Amino acid sequence: MRRLFLFMLVAAVLGAGVFWSVTRPDPLPADHFAGLTGDAVRGGSVFHATGCASCHAAPGAVGEAKLVLAGGQAFPSDFGTFLAPNISTDPAQGIGNWSLPDLANAIQRGISPGGAHYYPALPYWSYARMQPQDVVDLYAFLQTLPADATPSQPHQVGFPFSIRRLVGGWKVLNTDRDFVLQGDLTEAETRGRYIAEAMAHCGECHTPRNALGGLDTSRWMAGAPNPSGRGTIPNITPAKLDWSEGEIVQYLTSGFTPDYDSAGGHMVAVIENMALLPESDRAAVAAYLKKLPAVE
CATH number for the domain harbouring residue 274: 1.10.760
Please, is 141 exposed, middle or buried when counting C-beta atoms within 10 Å of its C-beta (0-12, 13-18, 19+)? buried
What is the band of 230 on the pLDDT scale with cuts at 50, 70, 90? Answer: confident
* pLDDT, position 22: 62
One domain for residues 50 and 148: yes
In a domain, 85, yes or no: yes
Which backbone phi and psi does 53 adopt, to 5 degrees? -70, -30
Region 89-118 average pLDDT? 97
Give yes or no for residue 2 having a pLDDT over 80: no
Region 228-256 average pLDDT? 93
Reported as a single tens digit per residue, the pLDDT across 48-81 is 999 999 999 999 888 899 999 999 999 988 889 9
Print the SS3 string covering 50-113.
Answer: HCHHHHHCCCCCCHHHHHCCCCCCEEEECCEEEECCCCCCCCCCCCCCCCHHHHHHHHHHCECC
One domain for residues 44 and 150: yes
Count the alpha carbons within 13 Å of 83 in the hemisphere toward its beta carbon.
15
One domain for residues 134 and 194: no
One domain for residues 216 and 93: no
One domain for residues 167 and 196: no
* pLDDT, position 195: 98
Instruction: State the residue range of the domain holding 61.
Output: 36-174
One domain for residues 152 and 238: no
* pLDDT, position 238: 97
One domain for residues 127 and 213: no
One domain for residues 169 and 74: yes
One domain for residues 151 and 219: no
Give yes or no for residue 16 having a pLDDT over 60: no
* pLDDT, position 102: 98
Pick from 60, 80, 70, 55: nearest CA to 152 = 70
One domain for residues 148 and 55: yes
In a domain, 17, yes or no: no
In a domain, 179, yes or no: no
Last residue of a domain, one of 146, 174, 202: 174
* pLDDT, position 18: 52
In a domain, 49, yes or no: yes
* pLDDT, position 23: 66
What is the band of 231 on the pLDDT scale with cuts at 50, 70, 90? Answer: confident
In a domain, 9, yes or no: no
One domain for residues 275 and 145: no
Reported as a single tens digit per residue, the pLDDT across 178-210 is 999 999 999 999 999 999 999 999 999 999 999
* pLDDT, position 288: 98
In a domain, 46, yes or no: yes
What is the band of 1 on the pLDDT scale with cuts at 50, 70, 90? Answer: low
In a domain, 21, yes or no: no
In a domain, 8, yes or no: no
What is the band of 89 on the pLDDT scale with cuts at 50, 70, 90? Answer: very high
Residues 6 or more apart whose Cβ sits within 8 Å of residue 183 = none
Please give the tally of structural domains in the chain: 2
Pick from 127, 130, 106: nearest CA to 118 = 106
One domain for residues 191 and 156: no
